Structure 1
Amino acid sequence: MRPALRSALDAGAAADVSLVCAPAGYGKTLLLADWSRASTDVDTAWVSLDRDDNDPGRLWAAIVAALSACPSIPGGSRLHDPWVWHHDELPECLAELVHAIAALPQPIRLILDDVHELVEPDALHSIEALTRNRTARLQLVLSSRRDPPLSLPRLRLAGRLWELRASQMRFTPAEAATLLEKSGLQLTPAQVEMLHRRTGGWAAGLRLAALGVAESADRDAFLTQFSGDERSVADYLVGEILCALPEDVQEFLRMISISQPVPTRLATTLSGREDAGCLLDRLEHQTSLLSPIGRGRDSYTIQELLRTYLLADLRRQGVNRAEALHAVAARWWAAESEPVRALEHASQSHDSGLLTDMLHRLAIPLILSGDHTPLRDALTCVSAQTVAADPWLALTSAMIRLEAGELPAARGDLRRARQAWPTDGPADLAVLRAVAEQLTAGVADPAQPGSSPAAVGYTGELPAEPELEALARLSRGTFHLECGDRVDARVEFEGALYLSRIHHFDYVTMQSLALLGIVEGGTGDMHSMRAVSIEAAATAAEHGWENSIWAAVATAMLAYTALMRTDTADAERSAAEGLALDVTASSPRLRFALKAIHGAAAFDAGGRASGLAELQQARSEFGGRPAPAELVAALAMLEFRTALLLGHSAAARTVQSWLADRTGETAELLMMQAWAETTGCRHDHVRSLLMPVLEGAATMVLPQTVVEAWLLEASLAVTAGKRSAARAALRRALAVAEPLDALRPFAYAGPNIRELLVHQRGSFGASDAFAERAVVAGASGRGKREPMLSERELTVLGLLPSLLSLDEIATDLAVSVNTVKSHVRSIYTKLGVSSRRLAVLAAHEHGLLSGGVRQA
């Protein structure tokens, strides 16, 4: 039935004594029976014990009868003689029995099932005597619900004892699925997982659950409600387990059942028993009903079905009693700095005063650690009137709802907090309000058309408590960021990040990293922006916060940096992941950014019309909502350039007007005008538009705008035949673009720039490596098909960037010059070019050349 356990029993057969110990219902008897049937190399004598076997005479008569019935016992064996057991003759008779077993021609196995039934000293003493008189011809197997009072430590120390415990006998999820299937049930993996979790792999629990499911019309409802208080389970627990325990022990278990896990010190507090630790240890060793956790074994868990039965039984004795114990546990866990457990117990105490007090004490630590679910659950236990009258509770509710994207409800909580605001509130309340207000900054309230809340950062002294200081720094940093002061914003966010890391405020760590990413993006440091965004996303993934607003912000920044690096597939994937998050729907700014980036990435991947349509739809949906200048400028530049490249000048002008209305005259608007004018060959006018950008006279919102300006300047110089000026402008563009990791401007800079990059390869000094990346930037993402060149054509192509003439190439390849010319003409045709220089440029764009070396 269970091959792994059968193999374990086989391995334990080398020991003199094997002990299979687990509570009722773990399948001990069935396992041993299956094992004995499968073991054909040794005879097995089986004795099922009961209370009557506490009489030594009856006990040993049953054992000898079982041994003598084994087929391998010779006819002349002393085991076939009638045995008369007398109390005073037991040692001598036992010695004779051992001698008879030692004389057997082959080993024999004796299984004593239900050894826990033996409680009388004489019977136990005789079994212990058998364990001391070792003989190679007998393997003794003891099966018991609890450790028998034998000298197990001595046997264990001597290496003569092998043990199989409840922890090893629990069914694995896969075994549970097989058991349920053999019971005639076809359950879903989720239903099997739920049953396994509820039963802890307890065989009897699984079997009882299977019977209940089979008889239930609504399987999901039965599984949801299945617990130790279900009739068949309760009857089994009482009849087979609890009835064997003294009443005071049962009462102890009922009282501690309100907590899972239960530390020994909490068990003492709940039960009032100073010996709680010893009792827990004894129950674990004797019954396996409890399992120790932690290296110090100072905390225990109760088997789940048993715990749910005990908890239900406690409530039957009086709901007030259970609630009072929960209140005790809440205060104990709070004193142990375990806010989640404290709040859970406070919620179950139904003591509104205690719960309110706990929320006041524990809200900020839970907000900082990201444990928002317990806060949300606790708030549902408080009346709406209490929340409305208490600004602390109202602000806590607002914070939780904001993080969940429930903006209308959060605004309502904020309004109630303002209405109930005290004249002289404490500092922690002021900090919490500042953060809550700022989280809604820039989100228009539909109840107040045209409104755009402008939150003011926390302006008081930094609190001494690290929790409050971290929140205060977040508030200050956000305010500086909104005002465009990135230097002070970085200082505050780095301070919050430092505090959150040393105090394990993991949620604030994620927030601080995401906000630092915004700061770095505003300064144009794409490398740092990407690094902190990766860390923010990793923190979110580690704690299961992928659907938080901050994880979505980090995803958006990663998508944008990928777009600027021309990692088109990565940008499109990241943007799609961000758009799929539920929280994104509640943030118009974030949705605007992600959708626009996704559209630009789709454009780069070859879906030009659909990419532009997505960009336009993103801007249309966002409408006139407030947003930072960096955000609107970056996304407007993406859409404008896309429209212009597709020849949609009217659409480009629409974007230009939209940006002008939001930012006024900026370098980005001048670049848009310059791009639009290039098609009219009015190069002097275009240069006059570029000069304020190149000289830094125009207000520049995006650091990469000057890269676009220098690239356009270089292209104009090439067209005018001013190669020296073009090279100088290109070097300036490369120097500015490299620290920004801005490759995308080079992807759409036109053939003049790409030709210049190829022609000047190796002359850019420290920017040579970046220039090589710029040559092929975006080539694979614009939907171009790689030309099918033959092996010989690829060889010739690899020599074209050199200074060798065709005659010299022919000599080098040991072929005729006419053959080389034929290959060159074929290369030109396949690449769609008309000169050697353009062939080299096209080869770089298709990834056929890199650093002058052919890529096979």
Structure 2
Amino acid sequence: MPGGKFTVPRPPHGLVARSRCDAALAATVGGHRLTVVSAPAGFGKTTLLAQWAARAPGPVAWVSLDPLDDEPGRLVRVLGEGLAPLAPGVRPDAGPASVRAPGTLARRVDALVTALETLPPEAVVVLDDVHLLSARTAREVLGPVLRYAGPRFVLAGRYDAALPVNRMRMAGEVGELRERALAFTEEEVADVVRAAGVPADGTAVRALWEVTRGWPVAVRLALAADVLAGSGEPLAQLRDRDVPITGYLVEEVIGSLPDDLADFLLRASVAAQVDPELAEALVPGGARLLDECVGRGLFLTDVGDVGDGPVYRWHALVAAHARAVLARRDPLAARVAHRVVAAHLGPRDPAAAIRHALDGHAPDLAARVLGERWPDLVVRGDVGQVRGLRAALPPRYRSDPDVLLALAAAHAYEADGEGDDDGRAAWVGELVRTFLGPGRPSLQESVRRGRALLDDGVAGGGAPDDAARALGLYLVGRAALQLYGPDPAALTHLAEGGALAAERGWVALELGCRAEEALAAAQRGDAGAALAAAQVVLATAALHGWQGAGIVASAHLACGIAAYWRDELCAASGHLQAAVEAAGRNRREVAVHAAGVLAIVCLAQGDAPGLARAREITDAPWPDGSAPEHLTAFRDFLTAVQLGAEDRPREALALVDETSVAFSDPLALGWQSDLLLRIGEIEAAERALDAAERAAAAAAAALGGTPAPVRVANLAAQAALRADEDDAAAHLALEAALAAAAPHGLVRPLRDRAAALHPLLSAHLEWGSAHEPLVTRLLVAEHESPAPRASAWDLTPRERDVLACLRSSLTSEEIAGSLFLSINTVKTHMRAIYRKLGVDGRRAAVRTAVQRGLL
């Protein structure tokens, strides 16, 4: 055997120490009988182990394996040679005849195991490149060696050897270092750049780290090729092809694979992500080959299940150079692969599918995908891509009727005034301009025009095709829902549009309709149905990578409203913030709606900073200076609600505008009744409650039923009004409110009135109720987290400083010293804090402040 086979390799020149990896390896080896170091080629496994071995606290035996060692008898002999310096008795007789004699291999393995048991426990045996061993050789030799106590072992390779070590793993005896731990961090890339003497700023380093994803060999090859020359702003656009790894990839990765696996890797790398179905479409037996790629750790990351199976993402740099290799070696195979990927992605990612079709020299396929999938692109807000994709088509495909229809949607969205002579394109252009384009009419006018378009069909006669009609139904339905609430006409539009989109496979359009239906359920107060429907939308959108798209905004809003009615305020806050972010500028109405509900949630939590952020959104100027009337009224109503929460009921009531749509809503009228009752104006409170009942009846006639929150709120308000004058009537009203709330899980309409209803709720348990758990929950919630008092919003800056110190272990004297105040001043501030928070001690003050977001 060559002497280098059993000696620790020398670290390469200019090596940069990686204390993070060194410490991780030392800790793993020190804490486990077996350490597995597994990562693809070029991740510095051997270098890391060599550095560690030079400083190891105990003796280290090193064996570098090669393909010739993949034979049980030879591997026993190789291990004996490598271990001889530590255990002389382990060196076997090397005669080939003895290797072939019956029982010899078993006896020699037994001798090897016996000798290993004599080694000190601090000894370590390193086997490098164990991936070169077949399952048979690893099982017959390494299996028995690892089964019994002896020295610690480190097995390093590009993928795991086929060893029976699950029992050791379950016993906690196996430690692992894999690709994620061995990849360079951004800081380590900067260290390597500096060690190489290459001038580069932070932008250049980050660009190099992002394109290589910390693959050590790629970083070093990039530096050797001087790709950072002229570093600065342009390097932020560093491309995959700028890093010269093709030669390394061909020699060290592709060249080491069996022919069928190498061919599959090249073809499959055409797609950024691959799943078993796509693998089978690319190559017969592709699913098996994909599984082998995963097992070998060939630069694939599991991104989770999508549809019926797992999906894997290629390392972008590896895939880019593998595609280049395929295009050079077999251009026809590359084109075919692009076409297969385009057909696979068409229903899921139309933009990517069109790009692959064009790369595959299949413009007819690209035109067909664009013509079929443009509703998804428009609904997701990717209309800018429509223009670019249409421009990328050869000229004779740009006048395809379906492509012109897609272009009309893009033109209308961007309001550039261009058009064409196709009747369907003109129809959809008018539709999109009505609802999406800048300078679109008011929401009321948009709904009117949209419904007229749906009724009249294509200009010049006929009806719009399925794509145009489905888009129209969605846009009209969602606008009507924002304007009129869950009225039957809006729900009919959304149901028809969703069914048509599902039938034709327009996923984004179907999700858009379903999200609006979930919002309608939330507005009706059907919290359970709203949450179930919205969660399906969000889960499906996540599978397609559309988490932040505008189509999910209404689903998040539905979850936020439903969680608020259930008094799950933290969950409500999270979903409402997500709704604001997803809505963005394209769906400003949804963003303002979500921010308004978020403001009410913050009021309930006592979250002053959150309230301020939400009001910044609701109060921001409208882009064209003319905010929709119903949202302007909603803004005024929020201001009044905030004043009421701050215990300024007369100021809140002074803002009431009886002609405003926001203040004539049944819930708003019930809120007015609560405020009037609070200041003792009983008759006015009764009149407001009567008005709320009339408004609820009118809404029921329009919507086909009274929304559950309205009914619960009105009954709860009746119970509060009757509490002092008619005990039996008050209990009957309260029980009716509880009965209306229970089926939908509604808590907040009662929770908002829990303080006023507290004596009645306590007595109701003795009076008798079919909903005792809900009554108990309301009583406990009001005790543990009372509604924020007005003074909770009015802590002075110095009182907030003292409040922050109260959560620490500092004494009053120490707080005074840290704030440079006298002890008497600190005690005065503490008494003020207790009074304003409605508590009687330090711990209660901290707990209440945390609950209300003051800490």
TM-score (norm 2): 0.57
2:183 to 160, 176, 186: 176
2:770 to 766, 772, 776: 766
Q: Structure 1 residue 379 and structure 2 residue 389: aligned?
A: yes
| Structure 2: runs of 5 or more not aligned | 1-21, 69-77, 114-124, 145-154, 162-176, 195-200, 701-705, 793-833, 837-846, 849-855
| Structure 1 CA distance for aligned equivalents of residues 270 and 298 of structure 2 | 16
Deviation of 1:329 after TM superposition, in Å, equals 3.2
Report matched runs for 1:558-707 at 5 Å: 558-579=559-580, 581=581, 583-606=583-606, 618=618, 621=621, 625-626=627-628, 639-643=639-643, 646-647=647-648, 652=653, 654-657=655-658, 659-660=660-661, 687=686, 690-691=689-690, 693-694=692-693, 699-700=698-699, 703=707, 704-705=709-710, 707=712
Is the Cα–Cα contact under 8 Å of residues 261 and 300 in structure 1 kept in the other structure? yes
Q: Structure 1 residue 554 and structure 2 residue 521: aligned?
A: no
Q: Structure 1 residue 167 and structure 2 residue 159: aligned?
A: yes
Give the aligned residue type for 1:516.
E
SS of residue paired to 2:598 = helix
1:604-662 Cα deviation digits (max 9, x unpaired): 3447899699769836846864477xx888776655455467546576454425625x8
1:410 to 399, 406, 413: 413
1:804-854 Cα deviation digits (max 9, x unpaired): xxxxxxxxxxxxxxxxxxxxxxxxxx999xxxxxxxxxxxxx99xxxxxxx
SS of residue paired to 2:440 = coil
| Structure 2 CA distance for aligned equivalents of residues 597 and 547 of structure 1 | 20
| Structure 2 CA distance for aligned equivalents of residues 185 and 566 of structure 1 | 53
| Structure 1: runs of 5 or more not aligned | 14-19, 51-62, 80-89, 109-139, 402-407, 787-829, 833-845, 848-856
SS of residue paired to 1:454 = helix
1:314-365 Cα deviation digits (max 9, x unpaired): 7789xxx96x766533433345565546423224357766533432244457
1:522-575 Cα deviation digits (max 9, x unpaired): 434344334434444454556543322343323333333444445555545544
Is the Cα–Cα contact under 8 Å of residues 183 and 210 in structure 1 kept in the other structure? no
Is the Cα–Cα contact under 8 Å of residues 266 and 322 in structure 2 kept in the other structure? yes
Report matched runs for 1:191-210 at 5 Å: 204-209=217-222
Mark the structure with the bigger radius of gyration.
1
2:440 to 429, 441, 445: 445
Report matched runs for 1:823-842 at 5 Å: none
Q: Structure 1 residue 345 and structure 2 residue 352: aligned?
A: no
The aligned counterpart of 2:16 is none
Give the aligned residue type for 1:528.
A
Distance 1:36 1:750, change over 3 A: closer
| Structure 1 CA distance for aligned equivalents of residues 641 and 310 of structure 2 | 66
Distance 1:640 1:733, change over 3 A: farther
1:190-211 Cα deviation digits (max 9, x unpaired): 9999878866886643543465
Report matched runs for 1:208-287 at 5 Å: 208-209=221-222, 216=229, 218=231, 225=238, 227=240, 230-231=243-244, 233-234=245-246, 236=248, 258=270
Is the Cα–Cα contact under 8 Å of residues 527 and 563 in structure 2 kept in the other structure? no
Is the Cα–Cα contact under 8 Å of residues 764 and 771 in structure 1 kept in the other structure? no
Is the Cα–Cα contact under 8 Å of residues 637 and 668 in structure 1 kept in the other structure? no
Deviation of 1:390 after TM superposition, in Å, equals 6.4
The aligned counterpart of 1:359 is 370
Give the aligned residue type for 2:238.
Q
The aligned counterpart of 1:517 is 518
| Structure 1 CA distance for aligned equivalents of residues 323 and 59 of structure 2 | 49
Give the aligned residue type for 2:182.
E
Is the Cα–Cα contact under 8 Å of residues 513 and 536 in structure 1 kept in the other structure? yes
Distance 1:608 1:383, change over 3 A: same
| Structure 2 CA distance for aligned equivalents of residues 240 and 607 of structure 1 | 58
Deviation of 1:678 after TM superposition, in Å, equals 6.3
Report matched runs for 1:533-552 at 5 Å: 533-540=534-541, 543-552=544-553
The aligned counterpart of 1:333 is 341
Distance 1:620 1:191, change over 3 A: closer
Deviation of 1:144 after TM superposition, in Å, equals 8.1
Is the Cα–Cα contact under 8 Å of residues 667 and 698 in structure 1 kept in the other structure? no
Is the Cα–Cα contact under 8 Å of residues 673 and 689 in structure 1 kept in the other structure? yes
| Structure 1 CA distance for aligned equivalents of residues 547 and 189 of structure 2 | 39
Give the aligned residue type for 1:551.
V
1:757-782 Cα deviation digits (max 9, x unpaired): 33344325334444444556766232
The aligned counterpart of 1:790 is none
Is the Cα–Cα contact under 8 Å of residues 434 and 458 in structure 1 kept in the other structure? no
| Structure 2 CA distance for aligned equivalents of residues 770 and 195 of structure 1 | 58
Q: Structure 1 residue 454 and structure 2 residue 460: aligned?
A: no
Give the aligned residue type for 1:382.
A
Q: Which moved more, 1:32-41 or 1:527-536?
A: 32-41
Is the Cα–Cα contact under 8 Å of residues 21 and 146 in structure 1 kept in the other structure? no
Q: Identity, % of aligned pairs?
A: 19
| Structure 2 CA distance for aligned equivalents of residues 558 and 525 of structure 1 | 11
| Structure 2 CA distance for aligned equivalents of residues 218 and 212 of structure 1 | 14
Is the Cα–Cα contact under 8 Å of residues 203 and 235 in structure 2 kept in the other structure? no
Is the Cα–Cα contact under 8 Å of residues 173 and 192 in structure 1 kept in the other structure? no
Distance 1:521 1:435, change over 3 A: farther
SS of residue paired to 1:445 = coil
Deviation of 1:410 after TM superposition, in Å, equals 1.9
Q: Structure 1 residue 185 and structure 2 residue 192: aligned?
A: yes
Is the Cα–Cα contact under 8 Å of residues 326 and 334 in structure 2 kept in the other structure? no
Is the Cα–Cα contact under 8 Å of residues 434 and 446 in structure 2 kept in the other structure? no
Q: Which moved more, 1:20-29 or 1:551-560?
A: 20-29
Deviation of 1:519 after TM superposition, in Å, equals 2.1
Deviation of 1:589 after TM superposition, in Å, equals 1.7
Aligned residues: 703
Is the Cα–Cα contact under 8 Å of residues 73 and 104 in structure 1 kept in the other structure? no
TM-score (norm 1): 0.57
SS of residue paired to 1:174 = helix
Deviation of 1:154 after TM superposition, in Å, equals 6.7
| Structure 2 CA distance for aligned equivalents of residues 607 and 77 of structure 1 | 76
1:124-145 Cα deviation digits (max 9, x unpaired): xxxxxxxxxxxxxxxx999889
1:746-801 Cα deviation digits (max 9, x unpaired): 45659764433333443253344444445567662324999xxxxxxxxxxxxxxx
| Structure 2 CA distance for aligned equivalents of residues 609 and 242 of structure 1 | 56
Distance 1:212 1:762, change over 3 A: farther
Is the Cα–Cα contact under 8 Å of residues 584 and 591 in structure 2 kept in the other structure? yes
Is the Cα–Cα contact under 8 Å of residues 592 and 618 in structure 2 kept in the other structure? yes
Alpha-carbon RMSD: 7.3
Distance 1:144 1:409, change over 3 A: same
Distance 1:235 1:587, change over 3 A: closer
Distance 1:44 1:529, change over 3 A: closer
Distance 1:143 1:756, change over 3 A: closer
Deviation of 1:455 after TM superposition, in Å, equals 1.5
| Structure 2 CA distance for aligned equivalents of residues 736 and 265 of structure 1 | 49
Distance 1:784 1:771, change over 3 A: farther
Give the aligned residue type for 1:595.
A
